[in-house]
Amino acid sequence: MIQQGQVFKLASVARDGGELWAYRYRTAGRQSKRIQRGGFAGEQDARVALERTLEKLRWANGSSRMLTLAELVEQYLAQHEVSSVTLGKLRWLLTHAVAAFGERRLDSLQPHEIAAWRMTIRPGYRFEATQAYGRCCNARLSGACSTSTLPSTASRIRSDARPRSDRSSRGTRSNQSPRSSAAVRGRW
């Protein structure tokens, strides 16, 4: 059964006098319990929250269609509004991930595989390619890409999980003097 829900405006108003929106859905058909969540500032916020909730239910029921990484990347790039130069670089960075995992379903990717893939990228581009991959996957998690779910374990590579050599090679931050940057590298 396909999960459905509805979004509606609440009769009560927010403290600032604005409208409040809510959504409701049933967990398993007409005879099941109806769940309602409210207090959203706008209709679009309520719709996004409803879709996210329904997608979680579909995932739990096994009725959600899982995208491949290549499909997710195409969807992400199609919805990403940036200059053509930035989009070109982002597409190029994401080709590394698509070349390695493009035909794999998102739920089949494992964190250790992603970490191993990351180490195959040239050090000068490793951070940017990993960051682009993470942003693409997190866009799905946040609801920016709208057609499938991605298990959080496969999408996250925490920055503190990077090898120390990769961290120290990133250089001086704009608010650090070269001396303080060298002192930090010396501690590692």
pLDDT of 71-122, one tens digit each?
889 888 888 888 899 999 999 999 999 999 988 888 788 889 999 999 999 9
| Higher per-residue confidence, 170 vs 118 | 118
Q: Work out the mean pLDDT of the chain and round it to a whole number.
A: 74
At residue 184, the pLDDT reads 44
> How far apart (Å, rounded) are the C-alpha atoms in residues 77 and 95?
12
At residue 106, the pLDDT reads 81
> How far apart (Å, rounded) are the C-alpha atoms in residues 63 and 39?
29
pTM: 0.46
Task: For the chain, give every domain's residue range.
Answer: 5-61, 69-168
- What is the mean pLDDT of the segment spanning 19-27? 88
- Residues 6 or more apart whose CB falls under 8 angstroms from that of 29 comprise 1
> How far apart (Å, rounded) are the C-alpha atoms in residues 64 and 105?
12
Environment class of 145 (CB within 10 Å of its CB; exposed 0-12, middle 13-18, buried 19+): buried
Which region, left, alpha or beta, applies to residue 152 given φ > 0 means left and ψ of -120 to 50 means alpha?
alpha
At residue 33, the pLDDT reads 84
User: Cβ–Cβ contacts within 10 Å for residue 157, how many?
Assistant: 18
At residue 98, the pLDDT reads 93
Q: Do the Cβ atoms of 157 and 114 come closer than 8 Å?
A: yes
Helices (H), 15-68: 43-61
| Higher per-residue confidence, 163 vs 53 | 53
> What is the token pair recorded at 172?
């001086």
> How far apart (Å, rounded) are the C-alpha atoms in residues 127 and 166?
8
- What is the mean pLDDT of the segment spanning 28-54? 85
Query: 143 pLDDT exceeds 70?
Result: no
In degrees and rounded to multiples of 5, residue 40 shows phi and psi of -85, 140
Q: For the chain, give the percent of residues with pLDDT over 70.
A: 68
Question: 36-50, 54-68, 126-140 — which is least confidently predicted?
Answer: 54-68
